[in-house]
Amino acid sequence: MNPAIDYPGPHPVRFRGSPLSRWLLARMGWQVHFDGFPRLQGVAIVYPHTSNWDFLVMLLAKWAIGVPARFWGKDTLFRVPLLGAWMRWLGGIPLDRHSPRGAVGDMVARMADHRREGRLLWLGLSPEGTRRFTPGWRSGFYQVALGADVPLALILLDYSRKRVDATRFLRLSGDALADYARLAAACEGVHGLHPELASPVQPLSRTPSADTV
């Protein structure tokens, strides 16, 4: 069994995507594999992130799928009128590092509100946090998915096959090392545009911090 499938498909939460985006991806030689989300709320992480081109490919994939995924952005970016409006239109959520509950606590609470109200909320993140090489993954995604008890979607951006795979969903156990081992197994054989810049699938520290996003 695939090490990162705790929610076998087909999945009930589906969307109407953009034919134009699918056509553009196909013209670029890319395929998107997606059969829905298992729940209305969750966290999606994209790996690996090694190039500025990743943003374009993932934005087209997001539109092709039709999912209104949200993402964190620096709160200062949202204060610039035109840039802030554009970021919100793309699905950005200002990252307030000075919130009393912390950015992770705020997102866990938001996920709980959406669950009670039966509303959709999927947060998309890059666990590496940068396209440069780092010795591991930041832990914000882990703490949100674990704290909110929502599925973790592993979105694999594979330039060697020109394929975006959005079919793998994991339920975190709270045992970070075991969970990361499963994630690492699921990422084997996937290559970014610059493979040497891909971070190893391991936490930056042994105990993920709720403040590390």
Of 91, 86, 101, the residue nearest 65 (C-alpha): 91
pLDDT at residue 30 is higher than 80 = yes
Which pLDDT does position 1 carry in this prediction? 59
Q: List the end-to-end C-alpha distance of the chain, in Å, as a whole number.
A: 30
CB atoms within 10 A of CB 160: 11
The mean of the pLDDT values for the chain is: 88
Q: Two tokens at 197?
A: 């810049």
The answer, yes or no, to whether residue 168 has pLDDT greater than 60, is yes
Q: Taking the complete model, does pTM exceed 0.75, yes or no? A: yes
Q: Please report which confidence band the pLDDT of residue 174 belongs to, taking 50, 70 and 90 as the band edges.
A: very high
Region 162-186: mean pLDDT is 95
pLDDT tens-digit profile of 188-210? 999 999 999 999 999 986 544 43
Mean pLDDT for 127-156 is: 93
